[in-house]
Amino acid sequence: MSAEFVQAGISPDDTRWMREALALAERGLTTTQPNPRVGCVIINAGEVVGRGFHARAGGPHAEVFALREAGARAKGATAYVTLEPCAHVGRTPACAPQLAAAGIRRVVTAMTDPDPRVAGEGHAILRSAGVQVESGLLEAEARWLNRGFLSRIERGRPWVTIKIAQSLDGRTALANGESRWITGEAARHDVQFLRARHAAILTGVDTVLTDDARLNVRLTDEALAIDGDVRQPLRVVLDSGLRLPPFAPMFDVPGDVRIYTRDVNTGIHHDGLTARGVQLVAAPQADSGLDLAFILRDLAQQGISEVLVESGPKLAGAFVDQGWVDELIIYQAPVLLGHKAQPCLALASPIRLDDAPRWQIRDTTPVGQDLRITLLPRVDSSGATG
């Protein structure tokens, strides 16, 4: 809790209502891309008079839904919002002026919006209208909820998560390539929720060809607890030689496909892929394959905030070695595959143990017979990872 809140005398109730706003924001976990996930709770005389969350880009913002529910009871109330109210008119009107016009007395936000179109302007509009504004309550939780959006705005690239299903001895497939199924049904079902949360799923062409990978979300709107159609993530394939045929099973399911390749105008499958509506993008070549930095920047420019990497050990290892991985999710099965089986990551070997990348465990959760481990790169006192 910041010094600003200590001075303002933030109460346990303030924290309670902000937690409720964060819970509301999570209801947009799989639907708001490219927008951030935002929740709002309006309290008058200790009573909830309005609730709202942002559901889809182009739809009403959280504050608008909450104000609609509150009606005249918004006058003199406090609004708890997980992100600074917007100050710009886009596909929807700006929220900050609407809060002020409704007579909201006090606005508590979890964090300032780093989007250059807002960046403190929403708070300034409210203050100029005489609204008491405080920001920073449960900021860490709010930033984690919108880590993809923040990565795209602040770093110019998406948040990158690698998903691995492995044995106890760190293997993902037998020596002959057989990998179905290392993990159990519950873990595979859990992966569907993981896919639904991400704006894009990235893999290499060999994974698509070998596994007939579709990389789509196979859950219903009811299972995801959403209204409307399930948003299919963009499928991203790194295919330097444009080897992916237009009749691959990936193209039999809904959703866009974007292929990064050395030359979009060559390859025997060019015409067929174009006819399928595939997005073909030329990417520079780097030492270890296509330039991952270019690809991540380009995806951010397309509004992609969160990328899930589901690939073979070579591509996944390249992401780790080059420092692009923000989150590592391992589904560990209680099985041993032996030293001849394929490793989960093809990594460069450190010369010294001190040089080995270090990770911190954020969460461990049993999923059926397996264990889901979520890890983040360890950051030292200088801000460096590893």
Residues with a catalytic annotation lie at 63
φ, ψ (nearest 5 deg) of residue 344: -75, -30
Spell out the long-range contacts of 68-72 with Cβ–Cβ below 8 A and sequence spacing 24 or more.
69/42, 70/42, 70/44, 70/102
CA 246 to CA 209: how far, in whole Å? 12
Q: Are 37 and 99 in contact (CB under 8 A)?
A: no
Cα dihedral sign, 195-196-201-205: positive
Sequence-separated (6 or more) residues with CB below 8 Å from residue 306: 33, 147, 148, 151, 158, 159, 161, 197, 198, 199, 200
CA 131 to CA 104: how far, in whole Å? 7
Please state the separation of Cα 205 from the chain's center in Å: 23
Q: Alpha carbon of 223 to those of 118, 185, 191, 226: distances in Å?
A: 34, 16, 13, 8
**Spatial CA neighbour of 75 closest among 44, 104, 97:** 104
CA 4 to CA 137: how far, in whole Å? 10
Cα atoms in the 13 Å half-sphere on the side-chain side of 157: 13
